């Protein structure tokens, strides 16, 4: 199973709504996680089960989707959201990641 993210990068203004998509080459039900990796830092879990927010993650982050198509939305983009975002399928082999989406501030 392969995971494909789009776009590979984006630039948006503070306060904008940003959407990142992730597509699985086969259906994966809702076994989809999103991670945030800030420059020079370790990846951080944001969302699991496609739409469940990890404890402590700001509510401006949300996820949706099931089967093959998923989205990560950041409403009201903040400067501290500058990072690369990765989707990942889990539950069985392989635990594949998307190629990442780099989010920058205009």
Partner 1 sequence: QVQLVESGGGVVQPGRSLRLSCAASGFTFSNHGMHWVRQPPGKGLDWVAVISYDGRTKYYADSVKGRFTISRDNSKNTVYLDMNSLTSEDTAVYRCAKEQDNRDDFFDYWGQGTLVTVSS
6 binds partner 1 (CB under 8 A): no
Counting contacts by CB under 8 A, is residue 48 touching partner 1?
A: yes
| Span from 19-27, 32-40, 60-68, 73-81 in contact with partner 1 (CB under 8 A) | 32-40
Q: Determine the Cα–Cα distance for residues 9 and 7; give it in Å rounded to an integer.
A: 5
**Residue among 33 and 74 whose Cβ is closer to partner 1:** 33
**In the bound complex, what is the minimum distance in angstroms from residue 1's beta carbon to partner 1?**
11
Query: Cα(14)–Cα(66) distance, rounded to whole angstroms?
Result: 29
4-8: long-range pairs with CB below 8 Å, 24+: 4/98, 4/99, 5/85, 5/86, 5/87, 5/98, 5/99, 5/100, 5/101, 6/101, 7/101, 8/99, 8/100, 8/101, 8/102
Question: Contacts with partner 1 in 61-100 (CB under 8 A)?
Answer: 84, 86, 88, 90-91, 93-100
Residue span binding partner 1 (CB under 8 A) among the ranges 18-26, 37-45, 57-65, 66-74: 37-45
Residues lying near partner 1 in the complex (CB under 8 A) are found at 33, 35, 37, 42-45, 48-49, 54, 84, 86, 88, 90-91, 93-100
């Amino acid at each position: 199973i392969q995971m494909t993210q789009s776009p590979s990068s984006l630039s948006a203004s503070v306060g904008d709504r940003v959407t990142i998509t992730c597509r699985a080459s086969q259906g994966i039900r809702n076994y989809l996680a999103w991670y945030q990796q800030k420059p020079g830092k370790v990846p951080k879990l944001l969302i699991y089960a496609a739409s469940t927010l990890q404890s402590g993650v700001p509510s401006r982050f949300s996820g949706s989707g099931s089967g093959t198509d998923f989205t990560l939305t950041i409403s009201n983009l903040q400067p501290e959201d500058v990072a690369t975002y990765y989707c990942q399928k889990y539950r069985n082999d392989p635990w594949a990641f998307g190629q990442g989406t780099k989010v920058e501030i205009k």
